[in-house]
Amino acid sequence: MTVKIFSVAEMVAAEKAADAAGHSYAAMMETAGRCVADAILQRRDVADCQVLVLVGPGNNGGDGLVAGRFLAEAGAVVAFYLVKPRDVAADENLARVEEMGLEVLLADYDQRHRVLRHRLRITDIVLDALLGTGVSRPIEGQLAGLMEQVGAAIAESRRAGAPEPATLLSVAALPPPPEDASPGQERRRPLVVAVDCPSGLNCDTGALDPLAVAALVVAAVIGATGWGLLLTAVAKSPSQVSSLGSAIMLTFGILGGSFISLNNLPSWVQVLSRFTPNAWGLEGFTALALGGGLPQVALPVAALLGMGAALFGAAVLLFNRQGLVQR
């Protein structure tokens, strides 16, 4: 099978040409959504599967509404999570979803993403229909928060030891379910299918901001090194540095969300996490994964640099008291 690869500009031009030739955008949306659903149905038995469709405000969200409708007709239990309200009077696809009695959830009414987090825990398939191919600016605000929740849920399912399906996929390359996977395991590890391309990805280059990556990596190293210097200053022997270092690394991993999602921990633990380089590093790299650049990682970078400087200063004072600083 021959597959033509389009750039974003070529895709936009092709859609405009199709519309001019009499193929309306509504018809193209119906076809696109049906093809997404068909690609999933060819590789999955969706009967009684829990499907969560993340619906963006544009045409990509419309594709998701169509795909979810076809999956529901195939026996899946489908819920739609709308980032922004859509006018049902002007949106035929949303109207058809509501006519079928399918569950429609609005992010505007979901305080602290509680409903979203619950749905993600019970979901077998997540359909990413948030953004289209033309998005090039960093993702911010409500949408960034929503995508962070989805990313955290997927990461948490990985830590639960569920089998490894791909995370963000082309519908042309959905893998078969692992032969040794039990239904319970598959439920803990939702399959994430992206319409067009994963939200937040630059569809032409797939590139991240190199300056932001470098700044965050350097800042994370400085923050972690600060804790290492302070530990060296307070320890009484090299063996104590080793044992205390291992304990602190494990503690920081837990407090920083490396092993357990911070959303599942008490609020006071979330406050303590801000004193770890792990939490700030995770926040920064999550922002990069969502298409962010240097402005979006400025706070984590500043926090890590400030942490490193403060800890370095404290370590120097302790070394000085011990007479270990040469003048």
Q: Which residue, 161, 194, 227, sits at the end of a domain?
A: 194
Q: Contact at 8 Å (CB) between 287 and 297?
A: yes
For residues 160-177, give the mean pLDDT.
47
Q: Contact at 8 Å (CB) between 209 and 288?
A: yes
For residues 13-27, give the mean pLDDT.
90
In this structure, are 218 and 71 located in the same domain? no
Q: Which residue, 194, 221, 251, sits at the end of a domain?
A: 194
Q: Contact at 8 Å (CB) between 148 and 288?
A: no
Instruction: Determine whether 71 is exposed, middle or buried from the number of CB atoms within 10 Å of its CB (0-12, 13-18, 19+).
Output: buried
Please check whether residue 115 lies inside any domain of the structure: yes
Query: Rounded to whole angstroms, what are the CA distances from 317 to 190, 198, 236, 245, 313?
Result: 50, 49, 16, 20, 6
How many residues are recorded in the chain? 327
DSSP state of 49: -
In this structure, are 117 and 29 located in the same domain? yes
Query: From CA 58, how far away is CA 131, in angstroms rounded?
Result: 7
In this structure, are 172 and 248 located in the same domain? no
pLDDT tier, 310 (very low <50, low <70, confident <90, very high otherwise): very high
Q: What tens digit of pLDDT does each residue of 90-110 get?
A: 999 999 999 999 999 999 898
Please check whether residue 204 lies inside any domain of the structure: no
- Ramachandran bin of 5, using left for φ above 0, alpha for ψ from -120 to 50, beta for the remaining angles: beta
Contacts of residue 46, defined as CB under 8 A and 6 or more positions apart, other chains included, come to 40, 71, 74, 75, 76, 125
Residue 237 φ then ψ, to 5°: -155, 160
Whole-number mean pLDDT of the chain? Answer: 81
What's residue 173's pLDDT?
46
Contacts of residue 24, defined as CB under 8 A and 6 or more positions apart, other chains included, come to none
Give the residue, 53 or 181, on which the prediction is more confident: 53
Residue 137 has pLDDT above 70, yes or no: no
For residues 239-249, give the mean pLDDT.
83
- 270 CB neighbour count, 10 Å cutoff: 14
Residue 175 has pLDDT above 80, yes or no: no
pLDDT tier, 172 (very low <50, low <70, confident <90, very high otherwise): very low
Q: Which residues are paired to 106 by β-bridges? A: 82
Please check whether residue 326 lies inside any domain of the structure: no
Q: Which residue, 139, 163, 194, sits at the end of a domain?
A: 194
What's residue 196's pLDDT?
83
In this structure, are 13 and 129 located in the same domain? yes
Among 308, 311, 309, 286, residue whose Cα is nearest residue 297: 286
Q: Contact at 8 Å (CB) between 307 and 169?
A: no
Residue 36 has pLDDT above 90, yes or no: yes
In this structure, are 175 and 272 located in the same domain? no
- Collapse the DSSP code of 324 into the 3-class scheme (helix H, G, I; strand E, B; otherwise coil) and give the result: coil
What's residue 178's pLDDT?
45
Residue 168 has pLDDT above 50, yes or no: no
Residue 80 has pLDDT above 90, yes or no: yes
In this structure, are 48 and 97 located in the same domain? yes
Q: Contact at 8 Å (CB) between 284 and 202?
A: no
CATH number of the domain encompassing residue 124 = 3.40.50
Q: What tens digit of pLDDT does each residue of 180-232 get?
A: 444 444 445 688 888 888 777 777 776 666 778 889 999 999 999 999 888 88
What's residue 219's pLDDT?
94
Residue 285's domain comprises: 210-321
Query: From CA 316, how far away is CA 323, in angstroms rounded?
Result: 10
The amino acid at residue 48 is D
Please check whether residue 12 lies inside any domain of the structure: yes
Please check whether residue 141 lies inside any domain of the structure: yes
In this structure, are 86 and 221 located in the same domain? no
Q: What tens digit of pLDDT does each residue of 245-277 get?
A: 888 888 888 877 767 766 667 888 878 888 899
What's residue 211's pLDDT?
75
In this structure, are 285 and 157 located in the same domain? no
The amino acid at residue 150 is V
Q: Which residues are paired to 129 by β-bridges? A: 55
Please check whether residue 139 lies inside any domain of the structure: yes
Residue 185 φ then ψ, to 5°: -65, -45
Query: From CA 56, how far away is CA 198, in angstroms rounded?
Result: 12
Please check whether residue 60 lies inside any domain of the structure: yes
Q: What angle do CA 201, 202, 204 make, to 5 degrees?
A: 135
In this structure, are 30 and 143 located in the same domain? yes
Please check whether residue 222 lies inside any domain of the structure: yes
Among 292, 236, 280, residue whose Cα is nearest residue 255: 280
Q: Contact at 8 Å (CB) between 66 and 32?
A: yes
In this structure, are 112 and 35 located in the same domain? yes
For a pLDDT cut of 90, what percent of the chain falls above it?
A: 32
In this structure, are 155 and 225 located in the same domain? no
Query: From CA 213, how far away is CA 211, in angstroms rounded?
Result: 5
Q: How many domains does the chain have?
A: 2
In this structure, are 257 and 114 located in the same domain? no
